[in-house]
């Protein structure tokens, strides 16, 4: 085990484990989302499957453009069509396939049984509506609450997400709040109808480091209180280590590895996962670094354009282990170890 | 806010002062005065009579004195007498103002009621046949001069319905009034509606790409709610500016339209007064229009504060 992974593994041990993980609430089966672009058809999400249990946190990690956000938007059917379209698979929420629902029925799911928080708290709230108005909208829509009752509930929700002086804040507009406060408002909004699944798309990326930890703690605390299942989309493995139970690593629209957090950090199988772990800066190393060893690792090259994927493994052009077989044939996604899957011909080498 | 208001009021006064100088000087730059016109109409010129008329009306005095007399009267509420009818200006203009005001208001309402929703629809259905059709119509609206459109409507109505409501005497009921003014109001408002539509469309397209629209959808908002509530509330801000400016432009459109439809409003009256070089009427009427424009602009600026909570007029 490298010192890096050891360090993360420690974090994993220290992180509070979820006490009650329940039944499966959401299963995603062979989800395929494509975009029709001028350069050709792009498979942004290519046969992605996973299951999510109540109270569980599942992290989806990968670089920009690997399809993690599109996966999340596909679950809520929020892919702009055109140019995008979900062309295959199933998204089953407690027995209902969301992909076969009518649009009005789907609207009753969004923000009610499945909700989502976004990366940019600065731009994700409507600038001309008060915070209270925005939180109460969903309550009035989904729970049939009166305006006054919804507004009262909005105050409660703000108290729940630890916004100081909630009764005052509901009357304020987003520009009067800081980034961290806005993200709290987003969380309050997303959780107002007590959803079964919360999708958090890079919820802390745009925030200060000190605020990041607070927001993550808040999400986990509320998850514990409400029993919500969380899909956490991030590119930050540090965040994954502190919050998730299971991790999916995506690359170029596909799942390349899946395991429990402990397993993944202890024995990453896919070279891409290992590359991601190696490219996290570490303070300890930087202190006594030498010129050769102290340099931050990077994964050479870039994510290939999705409209021009290589025939074999999409990671092959950047992979040190790649051979002719990798370049010719896409590796199957297999259980390489107990509850640890990977799509690589050289898994674990 | 208070000091902002004071500053704005002072600026408005300054604008009006500038306007008064401009209209006063420009009127006197136009060749001929009422005496010339009267004699021209009669086909003879008697220099002595002309001088007498000019002296009676005070037109022989230095221009600065004439200006000060006018402004002095204006400040005291004395608008002078019409050269042509010899009635007090206020009696001439007063009854005509409501007619034009109603017409302008109806034209403005028409342009907003037509322009805003069509702009939204055009944006939501971007690059569909409906969008293309609406864009062609709005382009034609911008290109058609309102007097020509008014003539077309007039001819169309007479050709196919054999008649058109026309102003012969003041309408008795509200319904008569609506009927009478709706066609000229539409003819004038069409241009503004086209402008409002195009601006709403581009503004909506911009807003619909924003993150908070995605948030609204992710929370389960319906298309109608997303488009007309979440998006339009943001998209309407630049449109407000245009509506304010258009309100001023409407007066220009009304001048010809009132003439075409034979409506005795101030706009047509202004043209007649200019032809007669009826200085008191023209000057005071132009000042009144300037006042309306300045006030409307001021109200639009205040409206921003209501519409956009991010805007604050700092002291």
A130 and A64, same structural domain? no
Alpha-carbon span B258 to B151, nearest angstrom: 11
Nearest to A52 by CA among A113, A142, A110: A113
Dihedral of the CA atoms B245, B210, A190, A60 (nearest 10)?
-170
Q: Please tell me the distance in Å from B194's CA to the nearest CA on chain A.
A: 26
Claim to verify: residue A321 and residue A332 sit in the same structural domain: yes
The more confidently predicted of residues A159 and B52 is: A159
Higher pLDDT among residues A268 and B169, named by residue:
A268
Do A71 and A216 share a structural domain?
yes
Stretches in chain B below the pLDDT threshold 50 = none
Q: Please check whether residues A158 and A55 belong to one and the same domain.
A: no
User: Is A118 part of a structural domain of the chain?
Assistant: no
Asked whether residue A289 carries a pLDDT value surpassing 70, the answer given is no
Whether the predicted pLDDT of A1 surpasses 50 = no
What domain range is A129 assigned to? 124-192
Answer with the one of A192, A222, A248 that is the final residue of a domain: A192
Q: Is the peptide bond before B255 cis (omega within 30 degrees of 0)?
A: no
A198 band by pLDDT with thresholds 50, 70 and 90: very high
- Chain A with chain B: Cβ pairs closer than 8 A: 72
Give the integer Cα–Cα distance in Å for B254 and B270.
11
Residue A18: per-residue pLDDT: 47
Confidence at residue B315, expressed as pLDDT on a 0 to 100 scale: 56
pLDDT of A4 reads: 47
Give the closest of B219, B230, B309 to A110, CB-based: B219
Which residues contact residue A188 at a Cβ distance below 8 angstroms, ignoring those fewer than 6 apart? A135, A154, A157, A158, A160, A161, A163
pLDDT for residue B129: 93
| Alpha-carbon gap: B310 to the closest alpha carbon of chain A (Å) | 7
| CA-based nearest distance B192→chain A, Å | 26
pLDDT tens digits, one per residue of A78-113: 888 778 888 888 899 888 898 898 989 999 999 889
Of residues A108, A110, A126, nearest to B218 (C-beta): A110
A112 — contact with chain B (CB < 8 Å)?
Answer: yes
- Where is the domain boundary, A142, A177, A192? A192
**Distance, in angstroms, between A267 CA and closest chain B CA?**
37
CA of A120: which chain B residue's CA is closest?
Answer: B211
Residues of chain A with C-beta less than 8 angstroms from the C-beta of B222: 104, 107
Residues of chain A found within 8 Å of residue B218, distances taken between Cβ atoms: 76, 78, 110-111, 115-116, 118
Is the domain of A160 the same as that of A93? no
* Residue A282, pLDDT score: 64
**What are the residues whose beta carbons fall under 8 Å from the beta carbon of B119, sequence distance 6 or more?**
B196, B197, B198, B199, B200, B201, B203, B204, B239
Which tokens belong to B131?
């969008």
Phi, psi of A253 (to 5 degrees): 85, -5
B128 in contact with A, Cβ within 8 Å: no
**Predicted ipTM of the assembly:** 0.82
Give the tens place of pLDDT for each residue, A103-156.
Answer: 899 999 998 899 999 888 888 999 999 999 999 988 998 888 899 999 999 998
* Inside any domain, residue A119: no
Question: Number of structural domains, chain A?
Answer: 2
Q: Are residues A3 and A134 in the same domain?
A: no
Interface of B with A in 232-271 (CB under 8 A): 233-234
**What sign for the dihedral angle of Cα A123, A128, A134, A138?**
negative
In a domain, A348, yes or no: no
Residue A123 burial (C-beta neighbours within 10 Å; 0-12, 13-18, 19+): middle
Residues A80 and A28 in one domain: yes
Does residue B223 or residue A10 have the better pLDDT? B223
- Kindly state whether residue A11 falls inside one of the protein's structural domains: yes
pLDDT at B197: 94
A59 preceded by a cis bond (ω within 30 of 0)? no
CA atoms within 13 A on the CB side of A241: 19
- What is the per-residue pLDDT across A19-46, written as a single tens digit (0 to 9) for each? 467 788 889 988 999 888 888 888 888 8
Cβ–Cβ below 8 Å for A107 and B220: yes
> Contact A25/A113 with Cβ under 8 angstroms?
no
The answer to whether position A349 is within a domain reads no
Q: Tell me the nearest-neighbour CA distance from A150 into chain B, angstroms.
A: 15
Provide the pLDDT confidence category of residue A172 given band limits of 50, 70 and 90. Answer: very high
When CB atoms are compared, the residue of B215, B234, B309 closest to A118 is B215
Reported as half-sphere exposure (CB side, CA atoms, 13 A), residue B165 has a value of 14
Inform me whether the C-beta atom of residue B219 falls under 8 Å from chain A C-beta atoms: yes
B217/A contact by beta carbon, under 8 A: yes
A208 & A102 share domain: yes
The confidence score (pLDDT) of residue A122 equals: 83
Question: What pLDDT score was predicted for residue B117?
Answer: 93
Which of A105, A126, A183 would you mutate first to test chain B, the one with the most B CBs within 10 A? A126
pLDDT of B253: 77
Among the partner-chain residues A111, A123, A130, the one whose CB lies closest to the CB of B219 is A111
| A78 and A172 in a common domain | no
The highest-confidence range among A205-209, A256-260, B96-100, by mean pLDDT, is A256-260
The verdict on A34 and A143 lying in the same domain is no
The answer to whether A141 contacts B234, with C-beta atoms less than 8 Å apart, is: no
Cβ contact A120–B211 (<8 Å)? yes
Write a three-state SS string for chain B. Answer: CHHHHHHHHHHHHHHHHHHHHHHHHHHHHCCCCHHHHHHHHHCCCCHHHHHHHHHHHCCCCCHHHHHHHHHHHHHCCCCCECCCCCCEHHHHHCCHHHHHHHHHHHHHHHHHHHHHHHHHHHHHCCCCHHHHHHHHHHHHHHHCCHHHHHHHHHHHHHHHHCCCCCCCCCCCCHHHHHHHHHHHHHHHHHHHHHHHHHHHHHHHHHHHCCHHHHHHHHCCCCHHHHHHHHHHHHHHHHHHHHHHHHHHHHHHHHHHHHHHCCCCCHHHHHHHHHHCCCHHHHHHHHHHHHHHHHHHHHHHHHHHHHHCCCCCCCC
| Full 3-state SS string of chain A | CCHHHHHHHHHHHHCCCCCCCCCEEEEEEEEEEEEEECCEEEEEEEEEEEEEECCCEEEEECCCCCCHHHHHHHHCCCCCCCCEEEEEEEEEECCEEHHHCCHHHHHHHECCCEEEECCCCCCCCCCCCCHHHHHHHHHHHHHCCCHHHHHHHHHHHHHHCCCCCHHHHCCCCHHHCCHHHHHHHHHHHHHCCCCCEEEEECCCCCCCHHHHHHHHHHHHHHHHHHCCEEEEEECCHHHHHHHCCEEEEEECCEEEEEEEHHHHHHCCCCHHHHHHHHCCCCHHHHHCCCCCCCCCCCCCCCCCCHHHCCCCCCCHHHCCCCCHHHHHCCCCCEEEECCEEECCCCCCC
Contact with chain B for residue A136, Cβ under 8 A? no
Among the candidates A167, A192, A217, a domain finishes at A192
- Where do the domains of chain B lie, and which CATH numbers do they carry? 22-78 (no CATH), 99-307 (1.10.3720.10)
A229, β-bridge pairs: A197
Average pLDDT score, chain A: 83
| CATH code: domain of residue A326 | 3.40.50.300
Residues A210 and A79 in one domain: yes
Rounded distance, CA B204 to CA B231, Å?
7
A101 touches chain B (CB under 8 A): no
Residues A268 and A5: their CA atoms lie apart, in Å, by 9
Which letter, b or e, does each residue of A282-317 get, where b requires 16 or more Cβ atoms within 10 Å of its Cβ? Answer: eeebeeeeeeeeeeeeebeeebbebeebbebbbbbb
Say what the pLDDT of residue A7 is. Answer: 55
- pLDDT number for residue B59: 77
> Between B18 and A277, whose confidence is greater?
B18
Q: What does the block give as tokens for B16?
A: 């009006």
Task: Determine, for residues B215 and A124 on separate chains, whether the beta-carbon distance falls below 8 Å.
Answer: yes
When scoring B124, B126, B208, B215 by the number of chain A Cβ atoms within 10 A, the one with the most, hence best to mutate, is B215
User: Would residue A164 count as lying in a domain?
Assistant: yes
Instruction: Work out the minimum CA distance from B240 to partner chain A, whole angstroms.
Output: 15
The C-alpha atoms of residue A293 and residue A300 are separated, in whole angstroms, by 17
**B218·A115 Cβ contact <8 A:** yes
| Same domain flag for A49 and A146 | no
Distance separating alpha carbons of residues B92 and A231, to the nearest angstrom: 75
Facing A112 at nearest CB: one of B215, B217, B220: B220
* Token pair for A306: 């999705």
Asked if A295 is an interface residue toward chain B (Cβ–Cβ < 8 A), one would say no
Contact across the interface for A118 and B222, Cβ inside 8 Å: no
Say if B3 is an interface residue toward chain A (CB within 8 Å).
no
Whole-angstrom Cα Rg for chain A: 21
């Amino acid at each position: 085990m490298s010192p890096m992974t050891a360090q993360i593994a420690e974090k994993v041990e220290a992180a509070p484990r979820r006490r009650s993980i329940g039944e499966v609430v959401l299963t995603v089966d062979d989800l395929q989302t494509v975009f029709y672009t001028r350069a050709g058809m792009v498979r942004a999400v290519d046969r992605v499957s996973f299951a999510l249990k109540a109270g569980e946190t599942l992290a989806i990690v990968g670089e920009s453009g690997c399809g993690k956000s599109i996966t999340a938007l596909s679950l809520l059917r929020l892919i702009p069509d055109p140019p995008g379209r979900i062309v295959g698979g199933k998204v089953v929420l407690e027995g209902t396939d969301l992909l076969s629902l009518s649009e009005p029925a789907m609207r009753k799911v969004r923000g009610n049984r499945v909700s989502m928080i976004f990366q940019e708290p600065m731009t994700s709230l409507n600038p001309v509506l008060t915070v209270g108005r925005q939180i109460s909208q969903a309550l009035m829509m989904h729970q049939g609450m009166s305006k006054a009752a919804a507004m009262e509930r909005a105050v409660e929700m703000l108290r729940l997400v630890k916004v100081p002086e909630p009764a005052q804040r509901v009357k304020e507009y987003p520009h009067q709040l800081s980034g961290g406060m806005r993200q709290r408002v987003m969380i309050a909004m997303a959780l107002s109808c007590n959803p079964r699944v919360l999708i958090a798309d890079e919820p802390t990326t745009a925030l200060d480091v000190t605020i990041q930890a607070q927001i993550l703690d808040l999400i986990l605390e509320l998850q514990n209180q409400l029993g919500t299942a969380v899909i956490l989309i991030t590119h930050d493995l540090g965040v994954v280590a502190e919050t998730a139970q299971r991790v999916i690593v995506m690359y170029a629209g596909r799942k390349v590895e899946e395991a429990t957090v402990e397993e993944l950090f202890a024995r990453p199988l896919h070279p891409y996962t290992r590359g991601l772990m190696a490219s996290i800066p570490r303070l300890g190393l930087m202190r006594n670094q030498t010129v050769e060893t102290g340099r931050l690792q990077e994964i050479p090259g870039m994510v290939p354009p999705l409209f021009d994927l290589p025939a074999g493994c999409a990671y092959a052009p950047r992979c040190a282990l790649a051979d002719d077989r990798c370049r010719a044939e896409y590796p199957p996604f297999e259980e390489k170890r107990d509850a640890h899957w990977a799509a690589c011909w050289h898994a674990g080498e | 806010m208070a000091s902002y208001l004071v500053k704005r009021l002072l600026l408005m006064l300054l604008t009006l002062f500038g306007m008064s100088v401009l209209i006063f000087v420009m009127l006197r730059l136009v060749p001929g005065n009422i005496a010339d016109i009267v004699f021209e109409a009669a086909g003879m010129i008697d220099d002595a009579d002309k001088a007498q008329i000019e002296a009676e009306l005070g037109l022989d005095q230095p221009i600065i004195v004439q200006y000060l007399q006018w402004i002095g009267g204006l400040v005291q509420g004395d608008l002078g007498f019409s050269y042509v009818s010899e009635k007090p200006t206020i009696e001439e203009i007063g009854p005509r103002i409501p007619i034009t005001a109603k017409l302008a208001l109806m034209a403005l309402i028409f342009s907003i009621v037509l322009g805003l929703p069509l702009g939204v629809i055009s944006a939501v259905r971007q690059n569909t046949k409906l969008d293309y059709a609406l864009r062609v119509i709005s382009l034609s609206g911008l290109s058609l001069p309102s007097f020509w459109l008014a003539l077309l409507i007039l001819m169309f109505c007479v050709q196919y319905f054999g008649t058109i409501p026309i102003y012969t005497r003041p309408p008795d009921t509200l319904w008569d009034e609506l009927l009478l003014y709706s066609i000229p109001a539409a003819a004038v408002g069409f241009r503004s509606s086209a402008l409002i539509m195009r601006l709403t469309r581009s503004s909506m397209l911009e807003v619909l790409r924003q993150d908070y629209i995605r948030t609204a959808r992710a929370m389960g908002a319906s298309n109608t709610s997303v488009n007309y509530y979440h998006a339009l509330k943001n998209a309407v801000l630049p449109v407000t500016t245009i509506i304010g400016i258009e309100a001023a432009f409407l007066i220009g459109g009304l001048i010809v339209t009132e003439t075409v439809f034979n409506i005795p409003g101030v706009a047509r009256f202004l043209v007649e007064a200019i032809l007669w070089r009826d200085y008191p009427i023209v000057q005071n009427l132009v000042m009144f229009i300037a006042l309306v424009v300045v006030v409307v602009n001021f109200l639009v600026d205040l409206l921003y504060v209501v519409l956009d909570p991010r805007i604050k007029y700092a002291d």
